[in-house]
Amino acid sequence: MSGKDKKNKSSATPPESIYVNRELSWLAFNRRVLLEAADPKVPLLERLKFLMIYQSNLEEFYRVRIGILTHRALLAPDKPDPVSGMMPEAQIKEALRITREQQTLMENIWKEIREELHANKVDVLDFRKISKVDELMSKKLFGDIRDLLMPQIIDQNQPVPFLWNGETNIVAFLSRGTEMKLCFIPLHRIPAYQSFEIDGCQKIVLTALLVRHFLPLLLKKETIIQSAIIDVTRNADVFFSSVEDRADDNFRNKISGMLSKRKREMPVRMRIYGKLTDPCRTLLLRKLRAQEERVFTQSVPFDLSFRSAIGLPAEFRYPDRKPARDLGLKKGEYFEYIRKHDLLMSFPFQSMMSFVDLIYEAADNPDVRTIRITLYRMSGSSKVAAALAYAADRGKDVLCLLELRARFDEQNNIDYSEMLEDAGCRVIYGLPEHKVHSKLCVISLQHGEEVSRITQVGTGNYNEVTGEQYTDLSLITAREDVGLEAKEAFEALEKGEIPPEAHALWIAPLSFKPRVLEMLDRELAKGENGRVAIKANAINNREVMEKLIECSQAGVKIELFIRGICSLRPGVTGLTENITVKGVIGRWLEHSRIYSFGEGKDQRLFIGSGDLLNRNLERRVEAFVEAVTPDTREQLNEILEALRNDREKSWRMLPDGTYVREEGGEGTSSQEALYRYFSTRKVSLTEPEPEPPKKPEVPELPQAQAEVPAEQKRTKRGWFRRMFG
């Protein structure tokens, strides 16, 4: 093909058939999660965990994505998806069809897991075929909870009691003369399961099944026609588009009001455990105003949390893999090391407590003046929050930007905003039109009239719990250009403004997509010598995908390591034949983002908080930093190489958009390889000092900051001990 022909081909608009609908791509990802539960090589209790994750993922999908599509179908039914061209109602129908198809697979997997549990002396009691001994023990357990049950009987003309999202209810159909009544029994305040042991066999008794079985004892005076277990999934797409008044209490109150409204949103899905006759089913759906096509009858329990109570030996779980706590630095040595070397940490192979130690070191360092940090999701008992509170208690100016709109963590963040304010931290919130999703922290030090900064940029939240469950990266640097741009970003956020364009940092929405497109153009100019490798959770931005297609057509070799949504089909002749797509599903959730352009000395490597989704590129504040030192670059390349070589836990996307599992690669798991690599890595203060990083072209003259007067320090020691220990 001539250069002219290639140029004409590149400039043509790619056909919509090259793209995969976002929602359907996500369902394909969740199917891969489900298939981990079917893999006999995965330990039994981990298979049960993947089944739990599949169900939890699906609930969130219906609450959020189907909720959004339901609104769109009502408000803009003829507006197509900008990538795939599908209308909202068509997307909903296809999602419902795929969900039913996957449900059959889910039920077969549950049957296999249950049989394997039974073979290993763990019985999830089936009350349809129960022994007399198990019946007697179960009856005693029912007696223990009987007083907690509150049946509510209604006739066909009365309203149904409100069913909270995800709340398991028993519904019974009662006969009173010629009339049928309904009885609802909520179980939300009762433990989901109990257990006992007989002759060395552990018996798991699911509360919903227990109550349903003993309904005649609870409703002695009633004639029970039929019964079932139900729950509803409610729409969670309840967000206001802007907030004019962002005063602290007012904004918190608005978020709290939104949460109350969300609890009562319309159902987008209903599940039934147990078969119902047509008259009973019709009555139930009419009373709940549920659409038949959104009702799923399944034989898998809604709640599988009993997994945590199963007492099987260690071989039924993954081998123990504790994060490495020791990086080779002691408390008090982090600043000295980072002044000379960039530090890259990889979770969960290394412990997030090293970052917590850094905050405590900042709190105790007399030169530290300010700590600024963006917080999106924190654990229930956050050690990061404790360290920030301690720093405020020590007189540091601690600014916490808390994004109250982190979906499903809103209440947790509201609580933390109040706690951190009580501790003496300054708390601000996200922007009206943009969620602040970045993982950015900057610590400012003053030595005489000189100001220096230590900046941390991460791919994942400051959350010690997910820090042991997700693969994430954190880069800490003393580079002056990075610190200055991080400071400027926080100054803009404090004013309620979008951070300005940056170069040492890529900060969305102004600097992320343009820099990505620039880097892709850089590789495009190299033609067949161009190289791109991107590790992210999702991609669906049309502009970026079109640029990737253009690069592929020019011969650029592109590797996409995408865990979840991938709206671009690889390997399509004439369009994406130089693009490959792989995704890893393993014991840890792949969550880190790495962007690599070029190879060898010409390679540019970046990490940060955003995917290539429209929301990350255009409607969120994200932060990225370049890895510039040989050590950090080597580590990121080690991750990419491990992903390339993974043929045990990886899936490959085919040109038709379907996925196949890579085969024949036992022992090539990227996660296991990276655990071995990172868990043994240590750094030392005696390492040779690298060449100093280049200074920005127009260095800013930092303003000296005065010490915080003692009378202004917030000394809440009693509060600190109560909250954080």
> How far apart are alpha carbons 98 and 81 in whole angstroms?
18
Rg of the chain, C-alpha, whole Å: 28
Positive or negative, the Cα torsion across 615, 617, 622, 628? positive
Identify the residue whose tokens are 């588009």: 241
What b-and-e string marks burial along 688-717, b requiring 16 or more CB atoms within 10 Å of the CB? eeeeebeebeeeeebeeeeebeeeeebebe
**Distance in angstroms between the alpha carbons of the first and the last residue of the chain:** 69
Whether 24 and 653 have beta carbons less than 8 Å apart is answered as: no
Q: How far is CA 363 from the centre of its chain?
A: 30
| Catalytic-role residue among 341, 434, 437, 591 | 437
Query: Which residue type occupies 498?
Result: I
Assess whether the previous peptide bond of 323 is cis (omega < 30° from 0).
no
Establish how many alpha carbons lie within 13 A of residue 200's alpha carbon, considering only the half-sphere containing its beta carbon: 3
3 state SS of 293:
helix
354 closest CA partner among 382, 380, 328? 328
What b-and-e string marks burial along 328-354, b requiring 16 or more CB atoms within 10 Å of the CB? ebeeebbbebbeebbbbbbbbbbbbbb
Positive or negative, the Cα torsion across 164, 169, 172, 176? negative
> DSSP code of 566?
B
Q: 591 catalytic, yes or no?
A: no
> How far apart are alpha carbons 519 and 568 in whole angstroms?
19
Whether 165 and 232 have beta carbons less than 8 Å apart is answered as: yes
Pair type for strands 440-447 and 368-375 = antiparallel
Give the number of residues written for the chain.
725
CA triplet 271, 277, 280: central angle to 5 degrees? 75
Q: Is 580 exposed, middle or buried (0-12, 13-18, 19+ CB in 10 A)?
A: middle
Assess whether the previous peptide bond of 348 is cis (omega < 30° from 0).
yes
> How far apart are alpha carbons 685 and 695 in whole angstroms?
23
> How far apart are alpha carbons 484 and 491 in whole angstroms?
11
256 closest CA partner among 375, 411, 380? 411
DSSP line for 518-545:
HHHHHHHTTGGG-EEEEEES-B--HHHH
Whether 184 and 170 have beta carbons less than 8 Å apart is answered as: yes
Whether 585 and 661 have beta carbons less than 8 Å apart is answered as: no
What b-and-e string marks burial along 64-77, b requiring 16 or more CB atoms within 10 Å of the CB? bbbbbbbebbeeee
3 state SS of 321:
coil
> How far apart are alpha carbons 411 and 402 in whole angstroms?
12
Tokens, residue 192 = 């989901």
> How far apart are alpha carbons 324 and 588 in whole angstroms?
16
> DSSP code of 235?
-
3 state SS of 362:
helix
> DSSP code of 690?
P
Identify the residue whose tokens are 């929602």: 23
Which residues have C-beta within 8 Å of that of residue 493, sequence separation ≥ 6?
374, 401, 428, 431, 436, 499, 621
> How far apart are alpha carbons 505 and 472 in whole angstroms?
18
Active site residues: 437
